[in-house]
Amino acid sequence: MLPNIENSFELLVFLKNQLLLKDSKDEFWWENSGSFEVVVGAILVQNTKWENVIFSLNNLKNQNLLNLESLSNCDLRLLESLIMKCGFFRQKAQRLQNLCANILESFGDFENFKENVSREWLLSQKGIGFESADSILNYALYREVMVVDRYTQRLLSECGFEFYDYDEIQNWLQNGIIENYERVENLYGKNVSLAKVYARFHAKIVEFSKQIKIKGEK
DNA sequence: ACCCAGGTGTTTC
DNA sequence: GAAACACATGGG
């Protein structure tokens, strides 16, 4: 069931060969990748299921709140009620509103934010840790950064690996891809961007992890 | 009734 | 520093 692998490239090959892995319409997997919506989703999805995020994002869309200006100005109680299903709704609402205001203040608009924001700036925001920062960097800004989430940590742990911290896992994942880039090109095409490979690799990890769980794997 | 979910921040030893 | 706790709803 679980792969016997030496490096992250071998894990990627294993996951790509798994049948029944759902393929997303979005080529980066995250719905509406490259847009501001990913920033909001990265906060909302913390410790909850993606289905709840979809519901909440639709609420925001229906109220025309899914943009920097509206989110930073809207009534906090209203925002709380719209994202309630995601859990931790009070702190998520407050942190999301602060984040939007800070993006406007520091960058002016989303396009400038996309071009100029750093990982350090994201990590300095209350409510954004390593995973949320990297999700935003990769799926909203297409930077060459691979997300490490709970699924990834558990899968690697079950494969027998032991890592010291987040950075060590991330480096292991990224290095295995970089060191085997010629072979990665055979899978994804000539000159494929590392950003896209990292995004789809992470996606495979998530989909595979969900799948083995449904099958009752421990 | 319990446990987990695509985390993060604060408090405590 | 790491370990424990708080944040909260929803579905199995």
**Domain ends where: A140, A163, A195?**
A140
Cβ atoms A208, A155 nearer than 8 A: yes
Cβ atoms A24, A32 nearer than 8 A: no
The residue ranking higher by pLDDT, A212 or A132, is: A132
Cβ of A139 near strand B (distance < 7 A): yes
- Nucleotide with smallest C1' distance to residue A86 CA: C9
Chain C footprint positions (protein CB, under 7 Å): 7-11
User: Given this model, what pLDDT does residue A216 score?
Assistant: 39
How far in angstroms lies nucleotide B8's C1' from the CA of residue A182? 38
Are residues A156 and A129 part of one domain? no
**Domain ends where: A89, A108, A140?**
A140
Residues in A 59-98 whose C-beta is less than 7 A from nucleic strand B are 87-88, 91
Residue A57 banded pLDDT, cuts 50, 70, 90: very high
Q: What is the pLDDT of residues A101-118, one digit of tens each?
A: 999 999 999 999 999 999
Containing domain of residue A192, as a range? Answer: 8-23+146-217
User: Given this model, what pLDDT does residue A217 score?
Assistant: 36
How far is residue A8's CA from residue A156's CA, in Å, rounded to a whole number? 10
Span A188-216, average pLDDT: 90
Label residue A80 exposed, middle or buried (CB < 10 Å: 0-12, 13-18, 19+). Answer: middle
Percentage of chain A modeled with pLDDT above 70: 98
Span A86-103, average pLDDT: 98
> Average model confidence (pLDDT) for chain A?
95
pLDDT at residue A142 tops 50 = yes
Cβ of A70 near strand C (distance < 7 A): no
Chain B footprint positions (protein CB, under 7 Å): 5-10
Are residues A177 and A113 part of one domain? no
Cβ of A92 near strand C (distance < 7 A): yes
User: Given this model, what pLDDT does residue A42 score?
Assistant: 98
Cβ atoms A143, A121 nearer than 8 A: no
Label residue A120 exposed, middle or buried (CB < 10 Å: 0-12, 13-18, 19+). Answer: exposed
Residues in A 29-58 whose C-beta is less than 7 A from nucleic strand B are 30, 41, 45-50
Cβ of A166 near strand C (distance < 7 A): no
Q: What is the pLDDT of residues A20-55, one digit of tens each?
A: 777 788 999 999 999 999 999 999 999 999 999 999
Nearest-5° angle of CA A171, CA A195, CA A48?
A: 75
Cβ of A52 near strand C (distance < 7 A): yes
User: Given this model, what pLDDT does residue A214 score?
Assistant: 54
How many domains does the structure of chain A reveal?
2
Q: Using CA of residue A71, residue A100, residue A92, residue A50, what is the dihedral sign?
A: positive
Are residues A130 and A41 part of one domain? yes
Are residues A210 and A156 part of one domain? yes
pLDDT at residue A175 tops 80 = yes
pLDDT at residue A215 tops 50 = no
pLDDT at residue A202 tops 60 = yes
Cβ of A85 near strand C (distance < 7 A): yes
Q: Residue A166 domain-assigned?
A: yes
